[in-house]
Each structure stands twice: as C-alpha cells, then as structure tokens.
Chain A
Amino acid sequence: MALLEVNDVSKIFPGVRALDQVSFTLQPGEVHALVGENGAGKSTLIKVLTGVYQPDGGELSYRDAPAQFGTPMDAQQAGISTIYQEVNLVPLMSVAQNLFLGREPRTGLGLIDRKRMDREAREILTGYGVTTDVRRQLGTLALGAQQMVALARAVMVDAKVVIMDEPTSSLEPREVQTLFGVIRDLHARGIGIVYVSHRLDELYQICDTVTILRDGKLVHTGKLADLERIKLVSLMLGRDMAEVRREGATAFSGAATGDTDAPPVLRVRKLNSRHKLHDVSFDVRPGEVVGLGGLLGAGRSETIKAIGGAYHLDSGDIQVDGKDLKKPTPVRAVEFGIAVQPEDRKAEGIVPGLSVRENIALAVLPRVSRFGFVSDSKVNEIVDRYIKRLRIKASSPDQAVGDLSGGNQQKVLLARLLATDPKVLLLDEPTRGIDVGAKAEVQSLIDELAAEGLGVVLVSSDAEELVEGSGRVVVLRDGVVVGTLTGDQVTTEDLMATIATEATREH
C-alpha cells in the first residue's frame, strides 16, 4: 500500500516542460531520496505534492485514494508537511508559540494556556535535542535549532508525509546527527519522508530508496543500496547518448591549458567561509580554463562570488597577477581585473529595464566619460564592437535587455564583463537557460578568450561542458577541494568518480 503516489505527472511552464510524465511512489516508513541538479524538476515535483502547483497532466493518489490539493493548506490538512531550507516560522514569537501556532492549548475561559503550552513544548522539543528555554524568541536560536522546531511542528500536525528540502544545508555536524535520529524515529513510526539533498554521504546514511530526476524526466528509481555512488552521479549529471546525438557535443575545440610555465594570473589560497568553504585553494594560469566541478551546494558559486568580492570570507588570500587583493569588494575586484558572471542572470546580472547599450557600458562608465559626462561616441564604439564580436541580436542598441532572448541577455552580460578588460573571467553556468545555438557561440567564445590569454574559471552543471571546456578541473564537495583532474583525467568518468568518492573528512 503506497502512502503517496503520483503517476505520469507533467507540469508545463511557458517554454519549459518542468515535469515530463514523472511517477513517484512513497511507502509508509520509507525515507526516499529525491535528487537531481538545478532545473531537474525536484522543486516542481515537491510543489505539486504540496498543492502549490496544479499538475497539467497525470494523477495524484494519497493513501490509496485519488487526491487533489488545491492549496498548500489542503495538503497540510491531509497530513503532508514540508520543511524548507529557509525556516518559515515567526522569528519574533517564542519557541513554544511557534510550535503551537494556530492550535494553542486553551484554558477553561478559552484563553491561551501558556503554562501548559510551555510545558508541552519543552517535553516535545527535548525529543528533538532542543533543550533551550521555550519562552525565548525563535529568531535568537541557532538555525539548526530553528529547523528542529519546524520539524517538530510539522510532525505534531499528525503528518503522514514529511518533505525535507535540503534540511542539512545550514546545520552543524552535531545537529545533522540529531536530525538523523529524528528521521529514524519517524521512520519507525511509519511516516513517509521525502529527503532532498546533494550530500551523497547523507543520502547513503539515511535513505532507503532514491528517485533521480533530470531535465524534468524520471531517469531512475529504486533501492539506494543497490545503486553505486558513481552510477548515481552519472545518472544525475550525465546526458543520454540520444540527447548528445541530437544536440551535438559542445562547441569547445579542445582543452585550454594555457602556458604551463607562466605564473598564475589568479592565485587563490585557503578561502574559508563558515559552513560553505573550507581551505579552497587553486591557481589559474593565463590562457587556461579551470573548471570547478561538484554537485549543487558544493561551494562552486560561493567560491566564484568570494573571489569577486560579493560573498563573505572569513579568511583567505587572493592574488591577481601577483598583486594581493586584500578585503575583496566588487569595486576592488573589478579594479584588479576580475569579472564575475553570476549564476542568476536575471537577479544579479542584467538590468532589464535599461537598454543593451547602457547594460554593456555600465561597468566602464568612468572610462568613456570626461568630468562625469558620458561621451556617446565612446560608448557607441565599445557597444558596437561587442555587439559585433558576440553577435548580439537586438533590434537596436536602444532595445531594453529584458526584451531579449536568454542567450542574447547572456551575451550582453558577457559584453559588459569583457568591456572592463579583465584578466580573469569567472563564469557561473554561462550556458544555462539559453538555446542550443547561443550555447555553442558562448562556448567557442570562452575558447577564444582563453586563447587571447585570459584566465577563465568555469562552473557548469553540465558535465560534458565542464570536461570539454576545461584544461583542468578542480572538484569541490561540501566546500572542500577533493581532487584536481589534469591532462588525461579530465573526463566525465573521472569527474564523476571524484565527486562520488566517500568523504573521509572528519566533521
């Protein structure tokens, strides 16, 4: 008897098939891992299960009866609870109030029975390893403890299904163990758990079954113990041969290794940032493309942003061309010749309301102006050069960037970075969400730029893109460099093997 079951569910957004006939079954007392890279459809599936989205096709059944959740409230009342990465409780209320929010114990007069509430809260939370004063404001607790409160609340609502979306991403190792204890307890009580995480070690520790999604499709489901790590990683990252044949391989001409004797243009030593990066070190030589490999949440984007001065570092040294970049800020990083292409183009890259011209010239305004007055001819010179070079397709340089296609938006962003004459280019998923043609163009551009002597750092979840584009791949896991692939090792097989190796690091 399945607890929760979806059959051939699809969800279509304008231009994207976020879920394509995905089936998923959760048994009572089962801890079911749901894995996949960004855009694989995990969040969409969760949102379908919890009533946030209505599926465009397929059916849902819950406790052997057809079900339809019109709103998140419906799903919750039916006994499906979700714990998100970000704790969604009320930070200014007390721990006990949060726990009992909406179903506070009452006194004979119908008023809230505070004493009873506090006492019961204390009893419940002890079981979750939270021994703090329950009258404290929730917001003053450590994130891990807050998450435990959220979990306790979820289970208290008579949950039959608990969905956990990366519950350990902000937890201390000790808290992770407490969480696992709670999960084992829920498991024994017959509650079904959907567990979303990218930490393979955790999955193998706690989960019974696994469902792997890729590009909105189901690629594998079955017992986790029967699935080798390497196989799991290749299922997550790999593309089918059919797909490769259809789209063609990447447009990279070959591994850009640069001049192996040249001093590094970027030297990164021992970057540390709490919970996210631990002693990350690597070099990039001029003309070299260094790939950063790893699963989602491994610290790739954080590394790139930290070098660009946009992510907090507790310690670490960064050198560009032999010069120390102390206390990096975005302003100083740009001065030193570092250009960052952020992962989220819309949120952190383009300024959608401004024109192609303004977007390209944005970072170099002082250079194209005199006494603070912008020279249109100088701006146009730069803008025309990059529109031609990157083959940006816009009706005119005055067109708003927000109206362009994804690929052209990405090119505009790259044009802005290149206009600053950088020494090092840090690219975070440069080909995500752009069409095949633009993808090939961006890939050959990366080759070209490296050939001109730029140092490039490339982050890509597309294993083939990473392997074919990079001369060397630094592999990260949980914020630690776990290996470097060079020369003949730069293959998808070696990449996956390195990602999949078991962590030996002591927490």
Chain B
Amino acid sequence: MSTETVAARPLVDAAKIKAWLPKYGVYAAIVLLVVYNIFFTPYFATWSNLRIQLIQVAPIVIVALGMALVIGTEGIDLSVGSVMALAAAFIPLYLGYGVVAAILVALLAGVAVGLINGILVARVGLQPIVATLALFVGGRGLAVVISEGKLVDIRNQDFLYLGAGDLLGIPVLVWIAALLVLVVGFVVRRTVFGRRLLAIGGNRPAAELAGLPVKRVLITVYVVCAVLASIAGLLSVARIQSSDASSVGLLIELSAITAVVVGGTPLTGGKVRVLGTVAGALLMQLVIATMIKHNLQPSTTEMVQAVIILIAVYVARERKTR
C-alpha cells in the first residue's frame, strides 16, 4: 500500500501541473517577465514606464474583451479593427455637435456592424470567420471613404481628456478599460445573457433544444463585441489626437485573438476567461516592451510572440485530452 502511494506521488504532481498550467500559466509568465525586467532592464520599474505600458495595452484589452465573448460562442470576429476605423472616421465629423454626439455616433457605427455580423452568423448561418471577413475588408474601406482618406487632427479638449487625461493619478483610458473589464466579467458570471452565451458555445444543439433564444444571444454577442471595438477606436483617436481611418486599429484583431487564446479561453467555445484575457494582453505587451528595451528587432519580437501563442494553445490542448 505505502509503496504504491510513494510511486504514485510524482504522477499526481504532473497531473496537478497540467491542470494548473492552462489556468494560471499566464499569470506565472507575467510574474517571471516582470521579475526579469526589474533586474535586467534599466528604467523598467518606474511609474512613467508602467503608465505607458498600460495606456498602450488599454485598447487591446477592450477589443479582446469583446473577442473573448465571441470566441466563447465558438465564433470569431475579424472586423474589430475596421470597427475601430469606422469609429475614428465618424469622430471628427460629429465633434462639432459636441463630444457626446460624436461618441454616440461612433458607438452607433459599432452597433450597426455588430448587427450585420450577428445576423449573418445567427440568421443567415454563415461561418463567423467568413461573415466577419466581409466587414473586415469592407468596413475599413468605408471608413476611409467617410474620412475622405484624410488624417484629421483633433483639438477638442474635452474629447482629448479621454485619451490624455488623468483621474486620481491614473490615465482615464486605463480607468475606462478597467471598468469595462469589471462589467464584462460581471456579465459573464452573473447575467442570464452570460450564462446563455456559455451554454451556446458549449453545446449549441442542446441550447436550442432547451429553448434558449440562440439567435438573439448570438446577435447580441456580436453587437457587444463591435461596440467594445468602437469604444477602443474612439479612445485611440483621443490618445493619438488625430483620426486616421487607414491606420487606427490595424491588425488589432490578431492582437485581440492572441490575448484571448494566451489567456486560456478555448477557441472551441463554452468558456470565457475575462481576467485571463486581460493577463494575455498584458503578457504580450510586456514581451514587446521587453524586446524593444533590449533593442531587439521587431522581427525577433514577432517570432517570440508566435512561440508564446503556440505554447498557450499546446497547454490548452494538453488539458483537453487529459
């Protein structure tokens, strides 16, 4: 009896690590990277550096939140970058009517794109990757047309406060991102919508048979994702103090998907890890920052990112086959 337990011990530990890694691996990686930087990177542990990192990561976090919800339903949304561009294009056009009006129009653009995506996926029955590919391509084109291809400087101080202002010593941008994280986390855990979303992602035929309004939930998910993207878009405009539809949010869909996957949300749906997604975004941001501070080429950075993504996916897969 006793010999058996002794022999079994290392096996149990391996199993524990396997179960632990996909859940907490991201956090461990962040801690490792921070510790490394504190010792080896000059000027890393400074308030100004932390500020810059957080400001840079905020839009990615916001977009990734929506992406995590969509991925939770076994979908994907490629159009988020184009939604950001659309929001950016509308801001200078409507700032004349006031900050609130401009923001509302930007958000409405998000609602419209989300509705189209959602209807294509839920009602027409297109695969999410194809449905959102349409607006990934067309959305940015429309944004460039709306802005007439011009880069517009923004001088409205109230609006710029969103991107450059501070509240209690912390950038407004970061406050907004943090607030949205809390809201989305709450929605996933505590609302009817959140639970239905997970059930649909986990087993859609079962959700349908249980009488859930599957199509309505799916459409709502895509609308929420697009609205979050338009918030990220208008915040980006406020931060860079200019609107350029051809560059705002370029390739952000990939950063967002990376953050979600690295954060431990499976692409197979049925699970959404909100804090993991934030951590995923932070980790990728830290990796990039570390590389830059050590004067490594962007191409090297990209390869390191690729390795991290593969590790994250591999670890998740390990758990599934356990």
**Nearest 3 Cβ contacts at the A-B interface:** A334-B211, A351-B202, A353-B270
B193 touches A362 (CB 8 A): no
A358 at interface (Cβ–Cβ under 8 A)? yes
Query: Cβ of A351: which chain B residues have Cβ within 8 Å of it?
Result: 198-199, 202-203, 206-207, 270
Of A86-94, A342-350, A490-498, the one with at least 4 CB within 8 A of chain B: A342-350
B213 at interface (Cβ–Cβ under 8 A)? yes
7 interchain pairs, CB-CB under 8 A? A351-B198, A354-B198, A354-B202, A362-B199, A362-B212, A369-B191, A373-B190
Query: Cβ of B271: which chain A residues have Cβ within 8 Å of it?
Result: 353
A249 at interface (Cβ–Cβ under 8 A)? no
A276 at interface (Cβ–Cβ under 8 A)? no
B125 at interface (Cβ–Cβ under 8 A)? no
- Give the CA-CA distance A353 to B320 in the complex, in Å: 11
**In the complex, which of the residues A335, A349, A351, A352 has the most CB atoms of chain B within 10 Å of its own CB atom?**
A351
Which residue from A308, A347, A352, A362 sits with its C-beta under 8 Å from B195? A362
Query: Cβ of B191: which chain A residues have Cβ within 8 Å of it?
Result: 369, 372-374
Q: Please name 5 further chain A to chain B contacts, defined as beta carbons within 8 Å, in addition to the given A363-B212, A365-B192, sorted by A numbering.
A: A351-B207, A353-B202, A362-B196, A362-B199, A362-B212
- Give the CA-CA distance A333 to B196 in the complex, in Å: 18
A369 touches B192 (CB 8 A): yes
CB distance from B84 to the nearest CB of A (A): 28
- Give the CA-CA distance A373 to B211 in the complex, in Å: 19
A416 at interface (Cβ–Cβ under 8 A)? yes
A354 touches B270 (CB 8 A): yes
Query: Cβ of A310: which chain B residues have Cβ within 8 Å of it?
Result: 208-209
Interface size class of A (residues with CB under 8 A): 20 to 34
Question: CB within 8 Å of B: which residues of A?
Answer: 308, 310, 330-331, 333-335, 340, 342, 347-354, 358, 361-363, 365-366, 369, 372-374, 416, 420
Question: CB within 8 Å of A: which residues of B?
Answer: 190-193, 195-196, 198-199, 202-203, 205-213, 270-271
Chain A residue with Cβ nearest B189: A374
Query: Cβ of A354: which chain B residues have Cβ within 8 Å of it?
Result: 198-199, 202, 270
Query: Cβ of B190: which chain A residues have Cβ within 8 Å of it?
Result: 373-374
Which residue from B195, B198, B203, B211 sits with its C-beta under 8 Å from A333? B211
B209 touches A365 (CB 8 A): no
Query: Cβ of A372: which chain B residues have Cβ within 8 Å of it?
Result: 191-193
Query: Cβ of A361: which chain B residues have Cβ within 8 Å of it?
Result: 195
B205 touches A347 (CB 8 A): yes
- Give the CA-CA distance A459 to B170 in the complex, in Å: 64
Query: Cβ of A347: which chain B residues have Cβ within 8 Å of it?
Result: 203, 205-206
- Give the CA-CA distance A349 to B209 in the complex, in Å: 8
A358-B199 contact in complex given A372-B191, A374-B191, A374-B192, C-beta closer than 8 Å: yes
CB distance from B18 to the nearest CB of A (A): 16
- Give the CA-CA distance A351 to B190 in the complex, in Å: 18
**In the complex, which of the residues B198, B203, B209 has the most CB atoms of chain A within 10 Å of its own CB atom?**
B209
A348 touches B209 (CB 8 A): yes
Query: Cβ of A330: which chain B residues have Cβ within 8 Å of it?
Result: 208-211
Query: Cβ of B206: which chain A residues have Cβ within 8 Å of it?
Result: 342, 347-351
Query: Cβ of A353: which chain B residues have Cβ within 8 Å of it?
Result: 198, 202, 270-271
A365 touches B195 (CB 8 A): yes
Query: Cβ of A373: which chain B residues have Cβ within 8 Å of it?
Result: 190-192
Query: Cβ of B192: which chain A residues have Cβ within 8 Å of it?
Result: 365-366, 369, 372-374
CB distance from A293 to the nearest CB of B (A): 23
A331 touches B195 (CB 8 A): no
Which residue from B203, B209, B270 sits with its C-beta under 8 Å from A340? B209
Which residue from A342, A362, A420 sits with its C-beta under 8 Å from B207? A362
B193 touches A348 (CB 8 A): no
**In the complex, which of the residues B191, B193, B211, B270 has the most CB atoms of chain A within 10 Å of its own CB atom?**
B211
CB distance from B213 to the nearest CB of A (A): 6
Which residue from A335, A352, A416 sits with its C-beta under 8 Å from B210? A416
CB distance from B88 to the nearest CB of A (A): 31
Query: Cβ of A363: which chain B residues have Cβ within 8 Å of it?
Result: 210-212
Which residue from A335, A350, A365, A416 sits with its C-beta under 8 Å from B203? A350
Query: Cβ of A335: which chain B residues have Cβ within 8 Å of it?
Result: 211
Query: Cβ of B199: which chain A residues have Cβ within 8 Å of it?
Result: 351, 354, 358, 362
A362 touches B209 (CB 8 A): no
CB distance from A327 to the nearest CB of B (A): 15
Which residue from B196, B203, B209, B211 sits with its C-beta under 8 Å from A352? B203
Query: Cβ of B213: which chain A residues have Cβ within 8 Å of it?
Result: 331
Chain B residue with Cβ nearest A341: B209
Query: Cβ of B211: which chain A residues have Cβ within 8 Å of it?
Result: 330-331, 333-335, 363, 420
- Give the CA-CA distance A354 to B198 in the complex, in Å: 8
**In the complex, which of the residues B196, B203, B208, B270 has the most CB atoms of chain A within 10 Å of its own CB atom?**
B203
- Give the CA-CA distance A363 to B192 in the complex, in Å: 10
Query: Cβ of A331: which chain B residues have Cβ within 8 Å of it?
Result: 211-213
CB distance from A459 to the nearest CB of B (A): 15
- Give the CA-CA distance A409 to B202 in the complex, in Å: 15
Which residue from B195, B203, B207, B208 sits with its C-beta under 8 Å from A374? B195
- Give the CA-CA distance A310 to B192 in the complex, in Å: 23
- Give the CA-CA distance A121 to B206 in the complex, in Å: 44
Chain A residue with Cβ nearest B268: A353
Query: Cβ of A366: which chain B residues have Cβ within 8 Å of it?
Result: 192
A308 touches B209 (CB 8 A): yes
Query: Cβ of B196: which chain A residues have Cβ within 8 Å of it?
Result: 362, 365
Chain B residue with Cβ nearest A340: B209
A334 touches B195 (CB 8 A): no
- Give the CA-CA distance A15 to B134 in the complex, in Å: 48
B205 touches A348 (CB 8 A): yes
- Give the CA-CA distance A250 to B209 in the complex, in Å: 29
- Give the CA-CA distance A351 to B198 in the complex, in Å: 9
A362-B210 contact in complex given A347-B205, A369-B191, A374-B195, C-beta closer than 8 Å: yes
Chain A residue with Cβ nearest B202: A351
- Give the CA-CA distance A330 to B270 in the complex, in Å: 21
- Give the CA-CA distance A303 to B150 in the complex, in Å: 62
Query: Cβ of B209: which chain A residues have Cβ within 8 Å of it?
Result: 308, 310, 330, 340, 342, 348-349
Query: Cβ of B195: which chain A residues have Cβ within 8 Å of it?
Result: 358, 361-362, 365, 374
- Give the CA-CA distance A358 to B271 in the complex, in Å: 13
Chain A residue with Cβ nearest B193: A372
CB distance from A176 to the nearest CB of B (A): 31
Query: Cβ of A308: which chain B residues have Cβ within 8 Å of it?
Result: 209
CB distance from A219 to the nearest CB of B (A): 34
- Give the CA-CA distance A260 to B11 in the complex, in Å: 62
A352 touches B208 (CB 8 A): no
Query: Cβ of A333: which chain B residues have Cβ within 8 Å of it?
Result: 211
- Give the CA-CA distance A362 to B217 in the complex, in Å: 14
- Give the CA-CA distance A372 to B190 in the complex, in Å: 9
- Give the CA-CA distance A346 to B304 in the complex, in Å: 39
Query: Cβ of B210: which chain A residues have Cβ within 8 Å of it?
Result: 330, 334, 362-363, 416
Chain B residue with Cβ nearest A376: B190
Query: Cβ of B198: which chain A residues have Cβ within 8 Å of it?
Result: 351, 353-354, 358
CB distance from B284 to the nearest CB of A (A): 26
**In the complex, which of the residues A330, A349, A363, A366 has the most CB atoms of chain B within 10 Å of its own CB atom?**
A330
**In the complex, which of the residues A334, A373, A416, A420 has the most CB atoms of chain B within 10 Å of its own CB atom?**
A373
Query: Cβ of B205: which chain A residues have Cβ within 8 Å of it?
Result: 347-348
- Give the CA-CA distance A393 to B221 in the complex, in Å: 34
- Give the CA-CA distance A369 to B196 in the complex, in Å: 13
Query: Cβ of A416: which chain B residues have Cβ within 8 Å of it?
Result: 210
Chain A residue with Cβ nearest B192: A365
- Give the CA-CA distance A347 to B202 in the complex, in Å: 10
